[in-house]
Amino acid sequence: MAYYKNGVITSSPFIESVINPTQEKILETGWLIYLDIAPEYNVETQKIEKIGITESKDTATVNYQILDLTEEELREKNVPHTITKGQGKLQLLILGIFTQVEAIIYQSGNMEKIYWNDWEIWERSSPILNRLAPNVGMSPSDLDQFFIEASKLK
């Protein structure tokens, strides 16, 4: 059981000169029973936020609001942050742009070549990938979809 008083939440409220107070004594001294029960929501498309506490006779209840995730939050939630180099190269092959990407890589600088040849994990936030993607007509949302599809390859 948790208790609430003046913005303080505790499981053992201090009551002067009382050891092991009963719940009745705790309530008599102004402490309220603290209820924090989050509402059900769809974790795939929504989030919840605490928006305050309502005090009644002997309870303090946490209030929540349910919000839809923004497009950015949905993207962040659904797009893998990383894929393996093998998944990335295989997805390029599936899309029919492997040879085109490889040619662009070898015409680019050494950083791109090292990333292509030696980096075992490709990161969605990689400046190199984000710089090269438009060269093959990939928008940021196309690159997101690329990572989603590549992550499914085993």
Q: What residues of the chain score a pLDDT lower than 50?
A: none
Amino acid 17: pLDDT: 84
Non-local CB neighbours of 125 within 8 Å, separated by 6+ positions: 81
Domain ranges of the chain: 3-68, 79-151
Whole-prediction pTM: 0.59
Give residue 71's identity as a one-letter amino acid code.
E
Contact 78, 148 (CB under 8 A): yes
State residue 109's pLDDT score: 87
Reported as a single tens digit per residue, the pLDDT across 63-101 is 999 999 998 888 878 899 999 999 999 999 999 999 999
Query: Residue 144 class from Cβ within 10 Å (0-12 exposed, 13-18 middle, 19+ buried)?
Result: middle
**Helix residue spans in 32-121 (DSSP H):** 71-78, 85-95, 98-107, 110-118
Sole residue written with tokens 């590549």: 150
Q: What is the pLDDT of residue 98?
A: 96
